[in-house]
C-alpha cells in the first residue's frame, strides 16, 4: 500500500500517533470520533503493511560517549542490493536509505566510541562493490521527526 492509497482517516490516525506514539487508542478514537475498534484495526493494518512503526527515539548526545555519524557510500550497481541487505542487518545502523546524487546509500550509525566508529567504517569499506565511503560525525541532534506529507498542498 502506498501513501497515496491511505484514506483520510488513516492519515489522521498517523498524525495522532506522530504527536504521541503512546497515545491510547481510546483517546485517538475520541479525537477522531470513531470507535476504538476501528483505530485498533487500522493501526494493526498500518503496522502489518510496514507503513507505521511505533518506537522510541533516543537522543544520542544524551547517551554519554556514543558516536553518531552519517556514512555516504558509493557502490557498484550490481552490488547495491547486497550492500543494503548487509548494512541493514548491522545493529549499529539506525537509518539506511538509497539516495540519488553524490552517494548511492546513506547510512546513519551509532557506535559506542571513536574506535568502534573507525572499525565500522573499515567494515563498510571492505564490503564487495564499495567504491567510496565518506563520513560526517554528528555532534548534536537538534530535531528528529519523520512525518507524512500534508494531504493537501499548504497555502
What is the predicted pLDDT for the residue at 1?
A: 46
Residue 150, pLDDT score: 64
Q: What is the pLDDT of residue 4?
A: 56
Cα-based angle 115, 108, 97 (whole degrees, multiple of 5): 145
d(CA 69, CA 49): 29
Query: What pLDDT shows up at residue 75?
Result: 98
**pLDDT on residue 153:** 45
Domains in the chain with CATH codes: 8-49 (1.10.10.10), 60-137 (3.30.70.920)
Q: Which stretches of the chain drop beneath a pLDDT of 50?
A: 1-2, 153-155
How far apart are the C-alpha atoms of 32 and 19, rounded to whole Å? 14
Query: Cα-flanking dihedrals φ and ψ of residue 79, to 5°?
Result: -105, 0
Of residues 105, 108, 97, 96, the one with CA closest to residue 130 = 105
Amino acid at each position: 500500500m502506498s501513501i497515496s492509497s491511505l484514506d483520510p482517516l488513516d492519515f489522521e490516525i498517523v498524525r495522532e500517533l506522530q504527536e504521541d506514539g503512546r497515545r491510547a487508542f481510546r483517546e485517538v478514537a475520541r479525537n477522531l470520533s470513531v470507535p476504538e475498534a476501528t483505530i485498533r484495526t487500522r493501526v494493526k493494518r498500518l503496522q502489518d503493511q510496514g507503513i507505521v512503526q511505533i518506537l522510541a527515539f533516543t537522543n544520542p548526545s544524551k547517551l554519554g560517549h556514543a558516536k553518531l555519524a552519517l556514512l555516504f557510500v558509493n557502490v557498484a550497481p550490481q552490488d547495491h542490493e547486497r550492500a543494503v541487505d548487509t548494512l541493514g542487518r548491522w545493529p549499529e545502523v539506525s537509518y539506511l536509505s538509497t539516495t540519488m546524487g553524490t552517494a548511492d546509500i546513506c547510512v546513519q550509525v551509532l557506535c559506542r566510541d571513536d574506535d568502534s566508529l573507525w572499525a565500522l567504517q573499515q567494515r563498510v569499506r571492505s564490503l564487495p562493490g564499495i567504491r567510496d565511503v565518506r563520513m560526517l560525525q554528528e555532534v548534536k541532534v537538534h530535531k528528529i521527526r519523520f512525518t507524512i506529507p500534508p494531504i493537501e498542498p499548504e497555502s
